[in-house]
Copies of this chain bind each other. A is one copy, B any other.
């Protein structure tokens, strides 16, 4: 057993370690180097965004610590990853003079939402995944239409399903394959995406391979099923498949050798769930975030209690 941290310095190091791991936990990895590499990728894209990422991880971890969370779970970064994503999402999807403060506050609230949802999902022997961050972000975007301290960003565009039309045509850009990794953290540039992939490989070679396979399956499925080319090029149809592939094959408890088949199926399904959620959220202008990953992974995680061979 680890000795309890007593000095301020020890406590600070523990906090930073848990927070950086919180960043890597977004991709199911508990590894400081992976966390730092992902952070570097975000900082390269935008320094304010990188500061929001680490600030959110720290805030979430601090709230969980004050809340009295289990110390071992806390030090694994578990109470940081939803906060990281919330902070980034609030910062990117909302507009207002002090939005960085709001992003950090939301990151803190996310830790509480995470705790609440743990009490729900554990009763079904399932995981919260990134659901806490999704529900908080959707709710908060809803708030922004009504309270003037914050405004919906330019990318939040409520539309009407009745007169909505699919965007046709466009030429395919294979960069979408790599952007699918970057979009996990909302980024569409190449270098950060490559760093994120590297971070996954550092954490686990196996996860890295599955990330690539997941991205390819999502990308090919979206093409095959006829998704809009502009969205495919941005990596918006495959980032959920990346997370789903890793989770279904490697993170969830699996008792057999055929999990990769289930992983391919679940990744394929995440593309259809993405399309469906886009339809249902259109009227509010809400982004699907990682909800397709959550639904597809929950489907398998729950089904495995009844179908042990999948």
Contact = CB atoms under 8 A, between A and B. Distances in A.
A155 interface: no
Tell me the interface secondary structure of chain A in the complex: helix
Contacts of A269: 109
B161 A284 contact: yes
Contacts of A109: 269
Interface stretch (A15-23, A48-56, A65-73): A65-73
B279 A284 contact: yes
Say how many copies of this protein the assembly contains. Answer: 3
A160 B140 CA distance: 19
Interface stretch (A29-37, A87-95, A206-214, A297-305): A297-305
A253 interface: no
A146 B279 contact: yes
A6 interface: no
A103 interface: no
Contact of A147 (B66, B69, B272): B272
A154 interface: no
B67 A118 contact: no
Which 10 pairs, one residue from A and one from B, show the smallest C-beta to C-beta distance? A67-B307, A148-B226, A142-B276, A116-B302, A146-B275, A68-B309, A115-B306, A115-B303, A142-B279, A116-B303
